Amino acid sequence: MEKYGYAWFLDKIDWNTLTFRQPHAAYSKDNLVNYIIEREKAFQPLTKRAIQDFAQALSSLNGEVNYIGKNWVDRFFPRHPSIELKPSRVIDAARKRCLTEESLLDYYTGLDWVVRSKLVGSSRMYNVDETGVQQGETDFGIVAGTTLTSISEKIKADSTTWSSIIESISADGRRLTPCVIFTGNELQGQWFPKEFHDTSPSGWSNADIFLKWLQLVFLPETEPEDPSLWRVLVLDQHKSHVTAELMKKAWLHRVWLSWLPSHSSHVTQPLDVTAFGPLKQYYRQLTRNWGTYEATSPQQQRLFLQAYKTASQKALSRKNIRQGFKTTGI
């Protein structure tokens, strides 16, 4: 017991680099420095808070260490001359609410650097987005195509239940297992075992669900034969989904998170540009004669899943998926 006691634990921690002094401890200050540099080269620099949170998340890989305080970043930079804190560009509120040519140029320039420097081909380029479905006494059970940031259209309904689906596709035309999120606190049975299901009070994904999707769906279904190869995941920068734990998990598995510019999904999001539009049309055709129903019953939720499954298989064809990446320039 004495060999592995508290003193042994303290002796094994390098408090300067926040790593265990053991051969397998590959995560150190150099990893954080490189990550900061790479995010800037991709035109997506990290804030001081993001750096602090990411460093705290990385520290857990090497054992329990002291809490990283708010002044840690200010002390970290002077010790590493290859990086420095810079003033961010101030963007007025009006410009933040609209898409600009400058923001698009920065994004595509940064994405090009990532693809070239990390040698990412079309088979390892992915997009993830979330689409919502209003269930219940709707005007024909219309699907509302959405992104992870906002609802794209409102649907009139007297009694409805909201569900959403996380979809992910690759530039070479593949579709990953969808994640269906029901409104509520628990699932009423597993109707489609091949699909990933979860619940949330709002019917929308949250940080926990999105991290679970990354771990249980994205990482295993996209794992390259060579683990040293990088993958790129294009997504909206939704504040409730972007956590230090998500960034850490992605980075450890060589998944580069490429955040789309604000308010640009209609031109930069492959799923939003060519897939969710046809999906709405096909779903309307399948549900036009349903009339009203009790959306919360397992039988009707099963009916909804089957309709969505049929519509999405048609809308998310290999041709439409590849066209989405081509149209958006990704």
Residue-wise pLDDT for 24-61, tens only, equals: 234 567 788 899 999 999 999 988 888 888 888 887 77
Burial (CB count within 10 angstroms: exposed 0-12, middle 13-18, buried 19+), residue 312: buried
Residues in the chain: 330
Q: What is the mean pLDDT of the chain?
A: 75
245 vs 143 pLDDT, higher one:
245
In the chain, what are the domains? 6-79 (no CATH), 117-328 (3.30.420.10)
Number of Cβ within a 10 Å radius of residue 214 = 22
Cβ atoms of 55 and 33 within 8 Å: the answer is: no
Residue 154 DSSP code: -
pLDDT recorded at residue 9: 41
Strands 19-20 and 143-144: unpaired
Question: CA gyration radius for the chain?
Answer: 22
Q: The tokens of 41 are what?
A: 């080269």
pLDDT recorded at residue 153: 39
Question: Is residue 64 over pLDDT 50?
Answer: yes
Q: Is the sign of the CA dihedral 214, 233, 131, 302 positive or negative?
A: negative
Cβ atoms of 309 and 192 within 8 Å: the answer is: yes
What's the predicted TM-score (pTM) here? Answer: 0.78
